Structure formats: structure tokens, C-alpha cells
Structure 1
Amino acid sequence: MGIVENQILKENTVRTSAKDLVVTGLLIAMVFIGTMFINIRLPISINGGLVHLGNVILFTVSFTFGKKKGAMAGAFGMGLFDILSGWTAWAPFTFIIRGIMGYLLGSISNYRGKNGESILINILAIIISGIWMIGGYYLTEVILYGNWITPVTSVPGNITQLVIGLFALLLTPAIKKIKNIL
């Protein structure tokens, strides 16, 4: 390669990295906003469980942009929510649980070139990542509350979050069209 080709490659890499950073930041912000401002506290859980639209956005991001951006959006978007909304003790757990959840969603939905376009595979991704989320938050509550019974009250709320997250199946095709314009 000549000097000119190297310079063009370097400029394209910097532009791609900057664009990637901006897109990832926007996806994190969208998950945070969906979690922070569009939520309902549940009266059924001892810890005041929460149902929010951050899941719809996380699922859509993971189906559309894949496992890396899904992991980043879930970990940072929902972890930031915990820090800024008084759930600070939950933040490290949420960071790990939601990061892995986004990674699972993106990995499964984009497996073998499916590109998040198969409704059945996307539902499978929600089920598998949902099992991870429910188990992760159950163990988190065991650690935070020191018993094995109390966390059971959070399971219905977590299942409700997954059911609401199914709306991502309707949102994903539209977001994919927008992504293709970028």
C-alpha cells in the first residue's frame, strides 16, 4: 500500500470509529430513557419491582445492531438508570445481567445470518435471555436481602417485563429500515 491508501484507510477507520461511538452512545441513551421515564412500580414485590419500556428498546437494539451494541446498551443504559434513580446497590448486578442479556439477544437473533429478522428466533432469544435475567435478578435479591424466599415475589414482574418486551418484534423492522438509511 502506498502513502495515499494508508491515509484513506486511517481516515475511514477514524470516521467509522466516531460513527460507531455516537451510535452506541445514542442506543445507551435510548435504553436509559425507556427505563427511566416510561416505567411503573409494581406493588406485588417487596422491593418495589419495576416494569419499564427499556426492555422493548434493549430487545430492538440487540436484534437490529447485534450482540456488542446490545450488551453495551443494556449494561450502561440500565446500569445508569439504577445509579440515578436510587437503586444504586443494584447497579453492578444490573450492569452484568443486562449486559449479558443484550449479548445473548444479539447473538441468538443474529445467528447464522438471521440478522434479527426471524420472529421465531427473536422469540427464542427473548426466552433464553429472559431466563438469564430472571435467574440473575433472583440471585441478586438473594445476595441483597439475605434469603431465598423474598426474591420469588419479583419473578411475576420480571416475566411481565419480558412480555412487554415482545413489542420489540413489531418495532424492529421499522428500526432496521432507519438503520439502513444511516
Structure 2
Amino acid sequence: MENKHKGLRMSSTKINSIVQVGLMASIICVATFIVHIPSFMGVVHLGDSMIFLAAVLLGRKKSAMASAIGMSLFDVLSGYVYWAPFTFIIKGLMAFIAASIVYRKKYEGENVWNNLLAFSIAGIFMIIAYYFSGAVLARFVFAKTATLNQAFILALKDVPGNISQALAGIIIGVPLSLTVKKALERSNISI
């Protein structure tokens, strides 16, 4: 009888990973809902700080999935459906970039300066990626009569908001990620 259900069982490691990604995706989505300010074509929010937290706590793959799911879920639930595919890719890559730098060489997510570097590079990537995505949406969705040059000019309106969003994410994310990581280690909780 046991062999019959052998294929249906998942290892506790896989289940643990699914729970971690799901929980962090929920935290990212809820944090984005709590503080968000509509901007020209999108929204400015504090969810990036949770993406940076995910990068430190979960590493590359799991933080990328949690960030992609959590942020695109926010877009879908809050009426920014056009942004969801872009967000899925951008926020997933943002977390992946941050985690790759956070855990490079001998670093283990516990160095303030390395985390600051990681979050800054990931934030710059996000600003540039949303600028180009905004131009695509401006050209083909929001202002269909706009030329490509006009679409790039229209997309500039969201750059200051994305810069402030990245800065807020970094300012909150650096101390928060270090504090939570140390607290989990002191409590002997492994992720």
C-alpha cells in the first residue's frame, strides 16, 4: 500500500521551500499594499524593502520566485494588470541580482556594505527596467498615438518615483535584513 502513494509524497525540503516562497510572496504583496502611492503610470511603494529582505533570507532562486509572485499579485489585485508581466520579470530579476551579490564570495548576507551594494545595483536595475517597460506601455497601451520618442519621454515621469521607491527599499531593507537574519540565527531557525 505504501508503494502505491510513493510518487505523491514530497520531501520535507520541497515543502519547506514552497512554504517559504509562499509566505515571503504574501509578505511582499501585503507590504506593497500597506504603503503605496499611485504615480503617473504605476505606483510607488515600500515593497522593495521586503524584496531585499527575501534576497538575504531566501537566496537567489526562492527570493526571485517570491518577489515575482508577490509583486505581480499586487499588480493584478490593485488594477495594474498591464504591469503584471513586466513586474513578474523585473522584480524576480531584482531579487535574483540582490541575492547573487549578497551571497557572492565569502559574504553570507551579513555585511552591511555588501548588502548596500547589492540592493543599490538591484535598485538601479529596477529603475532602468521599469523605464523601458513604461515606454513600451506608453507606446502600445496608455498613449497609442505616441511615437516611440514620445513614449520614452512619457516614461520619464515615473523615474523619480522609482528612484525614491528604490531608496526607501534600501534604507529600510539594509537594517531590517541584517536584524532579521541575526534574530533567526540567535533563535536557531534555519531558512
TM bracket, shorter-chain basis: 0.7 to 0.9
- TM-score normalised by the chain length of structure 1: 0.86
The yes-or-no answer on 1:80 pairing with 2:73 is yes
2:19 pairs with 6, 22, 32, which one?
A: 22
TM-superposition CA deviations, 1:102-140 (whole Å, max 9, x none): 100110011113111111111111221112111111111
What secondary structure is seen at the aligned counterpart in 1 of 2:11?
Answer: helix
Q: How does 1:1-182 map to 2 (within 5 A)?
A: 14-42=11-39, 46-47=40-41, 49-146=42-139, 147-166=151-170, 167-176=172-181, 177-178=183-184, 180-182=188-190
Q: Structure 2: how far apart are the matches of 1:159 and 1:116? A: 23
CA shift at 1:72, angstroms? 0.9
Runs of 4+ in structure 1 deviating by more than 4 angstroms, as ranges, are none
Q: Structure 1: how far apart are the matches of 2:155 and 2:122? A: 19
TM-superposition CA deviations, 1:10-57 (whole Å, max 9, x none): x8x711111111111101100010112222234xxx32x422221111
Q: Structure 2: how far apart are the matches of 1:84 and 1:59? A: 22
TM-superposition CA deviations, 1:160-179 (whole Å, max 9, x none): 01111121111112321226
Give the AA of the match of 1:123: L
Unaligned runs of 5+ in 1: 1-6
Give the AA of the match of 2:174: L
Q: Structure 1: how far apart are the matches of 2:32 and 2:131? A: 19
What secondary structure is seen at the aligned counterpart in 2 of 1:40?
Answer: strand
8 Å contact 1:138–1:155 — kept in the other structure? yes
Size of the aligned set, in residue pairs, is 168
Q: Structure 2: how far apart are the matches of 1:145 and 1:27? A: 31
Unaligned runs of 5+ in 2: 1-5, 140-150
Alpha carbon RMSD of aligned pairs, Å? Answer: 1.8
